Structure 1
Amino acid sequence: MRFTRPQPRPSSDDQLIPLINVIFLMLIFFMLAGHIAPSDPIEIEPPRSSEAPEAQPPQPEQRTLLIATDGRLALDGNALSPPQLQRRLAAWREAVPTGTLRIKADARLSAGQLQETLTLLRELGIEHITLLATQAR
């Protein structure tokens, strides 16, 4: 009498391995792609410009100042009070006299509020200022 060997059932785990590989690859991709630039500490909606932006490589001597409609300020991602901002910019101006300050102000910011900040920058001796805007479509 001959007995046939029972056929081994395919393991359900073998079918999960390719799925796990794909999920891990997607996880790594989204982890890398998701943190390209940190978000701003203050919610800003920059004004729109009809001019096409000039492609400029980032420069190490650039700092970015955020100005919200309620007067909150942030320098390079750190929220600061006006006196703290003044001290940091004065120290930066001494260290990098030819540095460029990029201002990212909210579109709803009044001209008077912006003028106060520009006056402070003029008093500190910061000459190279760029106002950031988004391109109008």
Structure 2
Amino acid sequence: MRRQPRRAEREPTVALINIVFLMLVFFLVAGQIAAPVETDLRLVRADDPDTTPLGDVLVVHADGRLSHRGRGVDSAAAYLSALPEVERARARLMPDRDLPAARLVAIARELTRAGAESVVIATERETR
């Protein structure tokens, strides 16, 4: 009786390399799809903010200017009316750290008068 020659076991390195490559491509594409945040904006700091995806966010600069996706906006109500109907219930603000609080409150009130049920303010998580 002859013995069968032993086959060398194949290592699944090719499959592992393929998976790592696909993950790399995914993260490269996902990083490019996200809308860039305004470069001159310094966010308000908070210890542990309730994190929600930003989606379409209204940026409020220190001098009170409003912008959405890098373009100037005339008013908070105009920003809200430009959103799709399903996203108008929750308005998202990203204020500059140096924005006066009275201006921030006025913008939030304008958004609620325009039909927003809630106003979410994006802040920067403090790192210790």
1:14 is matched with none
Q: Secondary structure at the match of 1:101?
A: strand
2:46 is matched with 49
TM-score, length of structure 1 as denominator length:
0.58
TM-score, length of structure 2 as denominator length:
0.62
Give the residue type in structure 1 aligned to 2:89.
Answer: G
List per-residue Cα deviations over 1:62-119 (Å, max 9, x = no partner): 531100011111124432122xx423413537x2376322111011111111122112
1:39 is matched with 36
Match of 1:103 among 93, 96, 101: 93
Q: 1:50 to 1:98 in 2, by over 3 A?
A: same
List per-residue Cα deviations over 1:107-137 (Å, max 9, x = no partner): 1111111122112112112112111111112
Q: Secondary structure at the match of 1:130?
A: strand
1:130 is matched with 120
Q: Distance in 1 between matches of 2:34 and 2:82?
A: 25
Contact 1:64-1:75 within 8 A present in 2 as well: yes
1:65 is matched with 58
2:111 is matched with 121
Q: For the pair shown, which has the larger CA radius of gyration, 1 or 2?
A: 1
Q: Distance in 1 between matches of 2:110 and 2:39?
A: 20
List per-residue Cα deviations over 1:4-36 (Å, max 9, x = no partner): xxxxxxxxxxxxxxxxxxxxxxxxx7xx37635
Identity %: 23
Contact 1:103-1:130 within 8 A present in 2 as well: yes
Contact 2:60-2:95 within 8 A present in 1 as well: yes
Give the residue type in structure 2 aligned to 1:39.
Answer: P
Q: 1:39 to 1:108 in 2, by over 3 A?
A: same
Gaps of 5+ in 2: 1-24
Give the residue type in structure 2 aligned to 1:80.
Answer: V
Gaps of 5+ in 1: 1-28
- Structure 1 residue ranges (4+ consecutive) displaced by more than 4 angstroms after TM superposition: none
